Structure 1
Amino acid sequence: MGRARCWRHRSPRRWKQFHEGCVPCQAVGVASHDGYKRGDDTVMVDGGVGDSDESGLRSIDLATLSGVLRVCDVELLLLDGNGPRAAFASRVHEEALFCSISCGFHCRGRFMLPPDWAMLGYLHATDETLSWCHGVPLTPGMALTVMPEGISEFTLSPGTHMTLMLVPVARVQRKLTELSLRSTPPAGQALSLFNLASETTPLAQHYQQLHVQLGQGASLQPEETEKLLHEHVQALLGAGAADRPGCSRARRTHYLIAQRAENFMRLNLRRNIYMNEICDAAGVSERGLRYAFEDLFGTSPNRYLSMLRLCAACRSLSMADSSRRSVKAIALSCGLWDLSRFADNYRKVFGELPRDTLMRAPAQIGQPA
């Protein structure tokens, strides 16, 4: 699927406030209190809305999860009935954002980096039969580099653990030039995935150490950003064709089918959508559409559409002002006409009624929605 240019960015002012510790920060697995600073670090705080289980995962609302990258929003869609359970810890250090993320649910996500930010990361664990990025299977031990160009799309399986670093794109370009006399990744693409030889490689061990440190709330080392950036870019430049994953022809076909179908769903979310309309938009038979959705999302097109509506409603409820918008108005705007059924399904997925989410929205507690 192409990386289309259309997504919502966080403003430079929002990032400045975040870096200065003025905006509440979220994390799970660290003490519950407001954001605080340690040296030049800004440490994230608890954003969970439910008790954690033995794995350290906690129920977290989609609005909180959507802000995990801080510099841009992540739109998440649930693909199973587990509800959003996760653990994440973040830290601003030396003008970079470090994140450790553990995902306890099957999800589909989209985000678009601002023009001046890049993302580097490493997958410690994931189920390669369920996880992918732009249709390419994600595997444990894989490193990723995302440059700011268009929308990045992915799915993550339950049990996925990853560590990310968001860093100014100018620093990545300077490092690429320093090590290779070029300012773009070798393949010339905005997304670069490559497999590391083993968990004992220096880069893999560095990311593993960071994952533990972030989870424990420990201080990061001086020059941490520069060291990780150097190791990551060096490994990126040294990766050969055999280290770079590919996408089979069948998977690519399914990916394009799902893209066309989902775009149609999103454009017509407010009204009733029929299967024959989705098939026409995707250019395939109903059987072909089902195969594509089962392959990519592990669910049927109808179930996917239902979750798309529910998650859209959840995001709207999380950001709305109850004095200006009602649960009914938000539900209808997402094509959810049966309000009783909507409330029942919403509670099954998110563990609360729609009105509870609306009353907990930022506008109700004195924060900008």
Structure 2
Amino acid sequence: MHIGEVLRTVVAHDVDEHAHNLTNWEQRYDQITHGRFCGELNEWQAHGLQIFRERSSRAVLQSCCVWPDAFWFGIEPQAGGMRINGRHVGAGMIMTQPGHREFELMTPDDHAILGIVIQRNTLLAAADRLGCRIEWSRLASAELLHVGQVALDTCAQHIQTLLDPATPHGAHAMQQDQVVTTLLAMLDASEVESEACTSLLRRRRIVGDARDYAMGNKDEPITISMLCEQLHVSRRTLQYCFEDVMGISPMTYLRSLRLNGVRRQLMQGAAAGASHAVRIGDVAAAWGFSNFSQFSCDYKKLFGESPSSALRTAA
């Protein structure tokens, strides 16, 4: 490999740890479905370029932000029903977001995603060299691009080969060029998926407002009636918004966020060497869980271990 090129693999058994393994991203991951988590990251880095494959065993809500002056492109090698900002990713589509803009992904159980992050000037130089004409303003505002399944499969195969530990070191530069070349060919022929309709934007807003209210009052138990009153919507509307944007019910979503918040706080306390001073009941109460036995049951069901066991392991 050339100087500055790095190929690495990292395995994590905690969703929050997994979120911090991707180099130079700002991320927060919340586990949504039940069971012990396992995540794996295979990452290639070169000058102005990052290529990776991320696997996760459980459904995860990801809040992501790529470093400034770059573009991210995401490929789902096998359609699994993931969402970007509440929108379904269909066959023959590639996801995209510019750097320094927060976006949200919802990934299902046993999921893999391939990613390319490329510095803007690196992408510009490659496009000029290959004679590709990219509408940069259109690209900067897009979430989904129609690129065709064959082109998508070809790019995915080059990424898989680059990240394969069995690939000879001398072949990495060629595979890197192949990834960028196939990416640019897709962008040159792509069509932007129509912008989110007004009704979807409204549903996104309702979901976001519900989350903001629940997290802003995290020490209080939240009910559907409270949310409906606060947001001025019916129970049916609230349910539909969450199912359409997140794929789950409002209470499942909000309970998962709070349980992940408890886990994150417990793990941070253990990492700081203060696990002996951490009172699980106090942390749970601070996140709105007034019934400790029910909290413990819900926690173990979601993460596959009790909060005390998790704290001991982390310590």
Say which of 209, 214, 233 aligns to 1:265: 214
**CA separation of 1:312/1:265 partners in 2, compared to 1, >3 Å: closer, same or farther?**
same
Say which of 64, 69, 88 aligns to 1:111: 64
CA–CA distance in structure 2, aligned partners of residues 262 and 73 of structure 1:
20
CA–CA distance in structure 1, aligned partners of residues 36 and 136 of structure 2:
38
SS at match of 1:278: helix
Q: Quote how far apart the aligned CAs of 1:288 are.
A: 0.6
Mind listing any 5+ residue stretches in structure 2 that lack a counterpart?
none
Q: Quote how far apart the aligned CAs of 1:124 are.
A: 1.0
Residue of structure 1 in register with 2:289 after alignment = 336
Say which of 159, 163, 186 aligns to 2:138: 186
- Mapping of residues 192-231 of structure 1, within 5 Å: 192-199=143-150, 201=151, 204-216=153-165, 218=167, 219=169, 221-222=172-173, 224-231=175-182
Residue of structure 2 in register with 1:19 after alignment = none
* Counterpart contact for 2:86–2:204, Cα < 8 Å: yes
Are positions 1:137 and 2:101 aligned together? no
For the aligned residue pairs, the C-alpha RMSD in angstroms reads: 3.0
CA–CA distance in structure 2, aligned partners of residues 71 and 170 of structure 1:
18
Q: Quote how far apart the aligned CAs of 1:214 are.
A: 2.0
Q: Quote how far apart the aligned CAs of 1:176 are.
A: 5.6
**CA separation of 1:140/1:224 partners in 2, compared to 1, >3 Å: closer, same or farther?**
same
- Mapping of residues 74-93 of structure 1, within 5 Å: 74-93=27-46
Residue of structure 2 in register with 1:252 after alignment = 201
Q: Quote how far apart the aligned CAs of 1:136 are.
A: 2.0
CA–CA distance in structure 2, aligned partners of residues 125 and 302 of structure 1:
29
Residue of structure 1 in register with 2:280 after alignment = 327
* Counterpart contact for 1:78–1:106, Cα < 8 Å: yes
Say which of 64, 88, 93 aligns to 2:17: 64
CA–CA distance in structure 1, aligned partners of residues 86 and 16 of structure 2:
25
Measured against aligned partners, the alpha-carbon deviations of 1:16-69 in whole angstroms (never above 9, x if no partner) come to xxxxxxxxxxxxxxxxxxxxx997543434424xxxxxxxxxxx2112221242
Measured against aligned partners, the alpha-carbon deviations of 1:68-108 in whole angstroms (never above 9, x if no partner) come to 42212322223322443444322333453321123333222
User: What is the TM-score with the length of structure 1 in the denominator?
Assistant: 0.72
Residue of structure 1 in register with 2:8 after alignment = 44
Are positions 1:120 and 2:69 aligned together? no
SS at match of 2:77: strand
Say which of 238, 246, 258 aligns to 1:297: 246
Structure 2 counterpart of 1:90, one-letter code: E
Structure 2 counterpart of 1:236, one-letter code: L
Measured against aligned partners, the alpha-carbon deviations of 1:273-323 in whole angstroms (never above 9, x if no partner) come to 232332234331121101111222332212221111111112222222325
Are positions 1:98 and 2:51 aligned together? yes
* Counterpart contact for 2:15–2:38, Cα < 8 Å: no
Residue of structure 2 in register with 1:20 after alignment = none
Instruction: Give the % identical residues.
Output: 17
**CA separation of 1:117/1:173 partners in 2, compared to 1, >3 Å: closer, same or farther?**
same
Residue of structure 1 in register with 2:99 after alignment = 148
Say which of 270, 274, 279 aligns to 2:228: 279
Measured against aligned partners, the alpha-carbon deviations of 1:167-210 in whole angstroms (never above 9, x if no partner) come to 33442354467656778342541x442122232x2x53132232
CA–CA distance in structure 1, aligned partners of residues 214 and 295 of structure 2:
18
Count of paired positions = 308
SS at match of 1:47: strand
* Counterpart contact for 2:16–2:29, Cα < 8 Å: no
CA–CA distance in structure 2, aligned partners of residues 335 and 147 of structure 1:
36
* Counterpart contact for 2:132–2:184, Cα < 8 Å: no
Question: Is the deviation greater in 323-332 or in 271-280?
Answer: 323-332
Structure 2 counterpart of 1:204, one-letter code: D
Say which of 234, 238, 241 aligns to 2:189: 238
Residue of structure 2 in register with 1:172 after alignment = 123
**CA separation of 1:187/1:118 partners in 2, compared to 1, >3 Å: closer, same or farther?**
closer
SS at match of 1:125: coil
User: What is the TM-score with the length of structure 2 in the denominator?
Assistant: 0.83
**CA separation of 1:118/1:246 partners in 2, compared to 1, >3 Å: closer, same or farther?**
closer
Q: Quote how far apart the aligned CAs of 1:224 are.
A: 4.4
Structure 2 counterpart of 1:337, one-letter code: S
Structure 1 counterpart of 2:8, one-letter code: M
SS at match of 1:145: strand
Mind listing any 5+ residue stretches in structure 1 that lack a counterpart?
1-36, 49-59, 365-369
**CA separation of 1:39/1:115 partners in 2, compared to 1, >3 Å: closer, same or farther?**
closer
**CA separation of 1:119/1:95 partners in 2, compared to 1, >3 Å: closer, same or farther?**
same
Structure 1 counterpart of 2:6, one-letter code: T
Q: Which has the higher helix share?
A: 2
* Counterpart contact for 2:59–2:106, Cα < 8 Å: yes
